[in-house]
Structure 1
Amino acid sequence: MYKIKELAELYGIHTNALRFYEKKGLLSSRRLENGYRMYEEADKETLQKILLYRAMNFSIADIRELLDNEKEHAHELYFQQLQLLNKHLHELSIIRDHILYELNAMLNDSYDEAQDHEQLQKLLQDLNKSQAWKDRWDFDSFATVYDEVVQHPSTDGLPFYVDYERVLDETARIAAKRGSTVLDIGCGTGNLTERLLLKGLQVVGVDQSLEMLVQAKKKLPSVLLHQGTFLALPFEKQEFDTITASYAFHHCDDEERLLAVREMKRVLRSGGRIIIADLMFADKKARSRYEEQCTARQRAELEDECFTTVEELTQLFTAEGFICSSYQISDSIWIFLAELA
């Protein structure tokens, strides 16, 4: 048992910090008849975790969520911790790059204070948007049956997985043409990741779904896997020669697509490439023509996703300094290639 002063001194903190954590519901104590607080060994261990999370700049709300969910399966708890840590690291990395850019501007007499304030405001807005992405499709519940679904897709919905094997083979073939390090975003259960590995490439997989990553790890125990999204990739600048994304980019809406392009560009090396294989259309007119021959269910599926057009992607990537090309695999499946000039 520890008195409040003893426990505070043990970790070099003020007793007011312990009272604050109790007030916020993070820590508990046992009160003696004289009103003194006493802490047990379990409370000491909880305090260790609180101080660790605070050192990583986690909010009180984030810490409460982690502590409340400690009784869950171990990998789920670590996944939550990693999610929060990746979020903070991503934010700090972006802010650091902005500060370095402005510092260099000051040193070279090209600093514009008004422009800096405007850019910083836009940066913070983009960071908030990138962290706000939610999985409204619940891919965790889909993970164990995903491979079965793509091998035997529904015949009355969108022909989403028609030529699935061919699309992945072609994506891997293009990726293997140049460069050795590949980031596979939205790797899911690892089907494209596996093909990239067989091409002799160094591959890192990223997905926002823990259960998808669990399935991928079972299939590919030696591959590096990370939790992340198109909008928040847990990597430093210019780490990869190639980025692939198969059947995943359509989960970004109109506003998120620009953020996704910039985030992919951030981790791409000079001269690198982005390969997107997905359901999309040549332009808005092509989408309208396609919708006209769709069933009611197919139209509903079209509206539920954020399918884009080759025309729009070309405009987005070109504005960010990419050279673009594309070709059609089937009525609705395209492979889009963007090379950083």
Structure 2
Amino acid sequence: MKIKQVEELVGITKKNIRFYEDQGLLEVKRADNGYREYGLEDVKRLQEIRLLRKLAIPIEDMRQMYGGEKSLRSCLEFQMGEMERQKKNLRQIQAFCEELLNADISLETLNAPQCLEQMERLEKEGTNFMDIRKTDVHKKKIMGAALGGGIMIVFMAAMIGFMVWGCMEDPVPIGVMLFMIGIPAAVIIGVIAAMIGRVREIEGGEEDEASKY
């Protein structure tokens, strides 16, 4: 079967499927014409990968599992330990927030330097607060992608408007007009698709997730 059918069966994107191939989690046979030909075993493997990724099993651990170096049980046990650490981390952050609430402070009376010092002490002890460098930079990247794409869309839309106006002033065959308008319209569609893809990638596509492991 073709990759489009596999997408529908498994519920993951073509981009993710190709990524898993690149990571060595999936080996797809090729037909005589050179195109990938997916079988039921590939679908089964991708369903397993999707399940394991939803459980936040790292790519490297899955690679070792399929290579016979690790068992599913050992990976799940490790993941349980990670979740316990995350729960402990959340409890510590919750306790910090409760401490601020119990102090009955306002924005005007908030001693930010003192709180930051306390946070730094907790971080040295293992608590992980939000990484503002990563989170805020992601927002900046999204805004940059939207701004750049928006400018291009406005420019192409203005070009379409100018072409329509020109055709009304000096009529041309309908086929020629549609061809002229079709070029900037295609650019607009391409820019929108690229913007959507870029935003998804910035917000944490599979490639970004894999870079953690």
TM-score by length of 1: 0.32
More helix by share: 2
More strand by share: 1
Q: Which structure would you say has the larger RCO, counting Cα contacts within 8 Å and 6 or more residues apart?
A: 2
